[in-house]
């Protein structure tokens, strides 16, 4: 369907707007860093879109974020001082519906990181056939350095600052790195106080008592475990006794760890930010989980050996679950990676250059927008339940999750075969196709 508003404009010489281009960010005068997540997101986009016959205007539109909000806001600290914090909320696309994406609290938050995560959320939602576009938010802060009252004041002020973009029909946040159900409860309450009545559907990942969904806490890890099981089948590896290493023992990694262990897989190594533990004949996951939940460090369990995050990434294992943060496998360590399957429980744990090397080594990568999509699936289900004020039992939630994950996994496999590309490119090709079709059908206003 031709749409004349999308011109085949070949002029990409404007240095002030470098991310509207068909060429890789690596080639721009503004420079390129392998560790810049937005540059990696654009490089991935370039590879995927090269397989599609899209109008230049459509490509340009998908390369841009829809809107970006940067806020600097004061927070009263417990000692009476006032500190200024910086936060962001970015919408990448609103073509398919309201935006959806987490909020992270971390000292490493940057605008480029939030842009990349918002773009990946657009592809993730499209791949899962959810009626959402992608968004992301974050505050530059170490939440562990704040008291509970300081954290609440920061959250409520940040929620007020971004409320101009937020709403159950416009933008629905969720937890991410450094945030949790309690923080979502504060955001929901703050937004509701401004409106004068309770609006549970404005956020997902809330406590059950105020409109949260059963199965939401385990959803991302459950989706990761499902993808790992499917990948083992494809590679002809018996899950009983298959060896697994897990980087990141947070909400995603710990749940995935438990579930793959229940399937008969042998988890030989787990790490958190400070390192972790290794045991060649398999860890007792129940003991590890109990130890960690009680406040114990993953590096201090009797009967295990210490292992660093760097060492864990290079373990000889069948499956590596990368469930920490982005930029973990790079050109500096990719040649040492020995896993046959990598499941991206985190967003962007493999850089674009490292991705190429792993593909050449025929490592089967389950890309982030597929592998960790369980969270946004159940977030969607939570949003639907809040809107209709009717809630489903956990078994029904898990069945819906598995159904949508299987549909997406099989579709990506088919696309991979059709285009003869790796799973990441296939997943992004599918997602970009769906978004571009929606753009063309909607047209350009006015």
Name, in order, each residue with C-beta under 8 angstroms of 84's C-beta and a sequence gap of 6 or more.
Answer: 72, 73, 74, 75
Q: How far apart are CA 86 and CA 267, in angstroms?
A: 39
d(Cα 351, Cα 256) in Å, to the nearest integer? 23
CA distance 102 to 177: 8
According to DSSP, the β-strands at 82-91 and 67-76 are: antiparallel
Global pTM value: 0.90
Q: Kindly list the strands in the beta sheet with 341-344, ordered across the sheet, starting from the edge strand earlier in the chain.
A: 305-307, 275-278, 266-272, 243-247, 319-322, 341-344, 364-366
CA–CA separation, 402 vs 180, rounded Å?
24
Residues (pLDDT < 50) of the chain are: 1-31
- Catalytic-labelled residue, pool 55, 136, 206, 266: 136
pLDDT tens for 109-164 read: 999 999 999 999 999 999 999 999 999 999 999 999 999 999 999 999 999 999 99
Whether 242 and 339 have beta carbons less than 8 Å apart is answered as: no
State how far the Cα of 8 lies from the Cα of 26, in Å rounded to an integer: 23
67-197 against 217-366: fold identical: yes
Domain borders along the chain are 1-64+436-446, 67-197, 217-366
Task: Tell me how far apart the alpha carbons of residues 376 and 115 are, in angstroms, rounded to a whole number.
Answer: 18
* CATH code assigned to 217-366: 3.40.50.720
Q: How far apart are CA 248 and CA 270, in angstroms?
A: 7
Instruction: Please choose, from the candidates 318, 350, 347, the residue with its C-alpha nearest in 3D space to the C-alpha of residue 331.
Output: 350
3-state secondary structure of 441: helix
What are 160's two structure tokens?
């007020």
Whether 136 sits among the annotated catalytic residues: the reply is yes
| Of 19, 125, 92, nearest in space to 428 by CA | 125
- Looking at residue 28, its pLDDT comes to 40
Per CATH, domain 67-197 is 3.40.50.1980: no
The sign of the dihedral angle between the CA atoms of 7, 11, 16, 22 is positive
Tally Cβ neighbours within 10 Å of residue 399. Answer: 12
Tell me the two tokens of residue 309: 């995050």
Which DSSP state fits 326? Answer: S
Peptide bond into 446 cis (omega under 30): yes
285: CB partners within 8 A, 6+ apart:
257, 258, 261, 267
235 backbone dihedrals φ, ψ, rounded to 5°: -90, 0
* Dihedral pair phi/psi, residue 7, rounded to 5°: -85, 155
In total, the chain counts a number of residues equal to 446
Coil vs helix vs strand at 147? coil
User: Given this model, what pLDDT does residue 32 score?
Assistant: 56
Tokens representing 384?
Answer: 């639907």
Work out the number of other CB atoms within 10 angstroms of the CB of residue 129.
16
**CB of 374 within 8 A of CB of 404?**
no
């Amino acid at each position: 369907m031709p749409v004349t508003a999308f011109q085949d404009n070949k002029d990409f010489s404007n240095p002030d707007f470098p991310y509207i281009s068909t060429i890789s960010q690596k080639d721009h005068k503004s420079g390129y860093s392998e560790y810049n997540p937005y540059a990696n997101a654009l490089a991935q986009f370039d590879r995927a879109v090269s397989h599609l016959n899209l109008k230049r205007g459509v490509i340009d539109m998908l390369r841009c974020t829809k809107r970006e909000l940067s806020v600097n806001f004061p927070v009263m600290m417990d000692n009476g001082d006032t500190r200024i914090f910086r936060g962001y909320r970015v919408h990448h696309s609103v073509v398919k519906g309201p935006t959806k994406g987490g909020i992270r609290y971390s000292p490493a938050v940057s605008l480029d990181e939030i842009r990349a995560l918002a773009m990946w959320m657009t592809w993730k939602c499209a791949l899962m056939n959810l009626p959402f576009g992608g968004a992301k938010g974050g505050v530059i802060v170490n939440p562990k350095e704040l008291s509970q009252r300081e954290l609440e004041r920061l959250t409520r002020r940040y929620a007020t600052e971004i409320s101009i973009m937020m709403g159950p029909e416009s933008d629905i946040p969720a937890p991410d790195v450094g945030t949790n159900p309690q923080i979502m409860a504060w955001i929901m309450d703050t937004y509701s106080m401004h409106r004068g009545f309770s609006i549970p559907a404005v956020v997902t990942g809330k406590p059950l008592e105020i409109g949260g969904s059963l199965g939401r806490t385990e959803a991302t890890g459950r989706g990761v475990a499902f993808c790992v099981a499917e990948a083992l089948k494809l590679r002809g590896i018996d899950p009983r006794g298959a060896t697994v290493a897990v980087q990141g023992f947070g909400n995603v990694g710990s749940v995935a760890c438990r579930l793959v262990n229940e399937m008969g897989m042998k988890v030989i190594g787990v790490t958190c930010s400070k390192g972790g533990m290794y045991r060649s004949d398999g860890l007792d996951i129940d003991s590890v989980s109990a130890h960690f939940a009680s406040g114990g460090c993953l590096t201090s369990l009797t009967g295990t050996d210490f292992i660093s995050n760097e060492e864990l990434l290079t373990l000889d294992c069948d499956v590596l679950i990368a469930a920490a943060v982005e930029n973990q496998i790079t050109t500096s360590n990719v040649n040492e990676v020995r896993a046959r399957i990598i499941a991206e429980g985190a967003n962007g744990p493999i850089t674009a250059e490292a991705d190429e090397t792993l593909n050449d080594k025929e490592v089967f990568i389950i890309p982030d927008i597929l592998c960790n999509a369980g969270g946004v699936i159940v977030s969607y289900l939570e949003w639907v339940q809040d809107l209709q004020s009717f809630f489903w039992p956990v078994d029904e939630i898990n069945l819906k999750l598995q159904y949508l994950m299987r549909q997406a996994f099989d579709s990506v496999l088919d696309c991979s075969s059709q285009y003869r590309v790796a799973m990441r490119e296939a997943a992004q090709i599918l997602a970009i196709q769906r978004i571009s079709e929606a753009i063309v059908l909607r047209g350009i206003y006015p």
